[in-house]
Amino acid sequence: TATVDTAALTAWVREFGRLIAAGRDLLTELDSAIGDADHGVNMDRGMTAVLAALAADPPTTPADVLKRTGMTLVSKVGGASGPLYGTAFLRMAAAAGAADALDAPGYAKVLRAGLDGVVARGKPAAGDKTMYDALAPAVDALDEALAAGRPLGEALRAALRAAEQGRDATIPMVARKGRASYLGERSAGHQDPGATSVTMLVSAAATVLGG
């Protein structure tokens, strides 16, 4: 049975940071269409600080990885996404508890706690054109695949497909949360930046924890 330990979670966060850095211009371009053109810059500044913090003082437990990631994002990322991602990682840390390693259902519980954190902080509903529209289907797909007896790697690949579909489904949506909602109907026809970055988080999990 798969175990997700401190090193694996650190690798997940590092891979997320790498994808954010590589996708920085895309995320900013998406945010320039329906927001204030800073999502790539915000997330890259935050994740660069996270990676530096983890490298300077390597964490010793899964919860430590997640807590330090959340705290760094809260302090370094402004706007909507800092508190949203920060709360997600802090909730994940709380769900990881004192465990030295997570099994597959334990990791799924941690990811769902992150989703619950996004909901608690931003009050998004399905169809509001936010990161929720990619993350919620991914977490549901992960739970479903694990309940069906699939190994973690396969379940994470199913989660990634669900996230990608959810991200793509934000294109025609009219935004009801965040800055994009100020545009009303004019927000339709554009992919949501946060749904795009959170799909990178799921992609990083599939790559690093899915082997």
When asked if residue 39 is in the footprint of ligand ADP (CB under 6 A), the reply is: yes
Distance separating alpha carbons of residues 56 and 182, to the nearest angstrom = 41
Residues 6 or more apart whose Cβ sits within 8 Å of residue 98: 61, 63
Please pick, from the candidates 8, 12, 38, 170, the single residue that binds Mg ion as defined by CB under 5 A. 38
Measured CA angle at 111 (ends 135, 106), to 5 deg: 150
Residues present in the chain in total: 211
Site string for Mg ion, 69-88 (x = CB under 5 A): ----------x---------
Stretch 6-35 residues interacting with ligand ADP (CB under 6 A):
31, 35
Distance separating alpha carbons of residues 94 and 120, to the nearest angstrom = 14
For ligand ADP, how many residues bind (rule: CB under 6 A)? 24
Binding positions for Mg ion, rule: CB under 5 A:
31, 35-36, 38-39, 79
Binding positions for ligand ADP, rule: CB under 6 A:
31, 35-36, 38-39, 42, 79-81, 84, 118, 122-124, 130-132, 177-179, 192-195
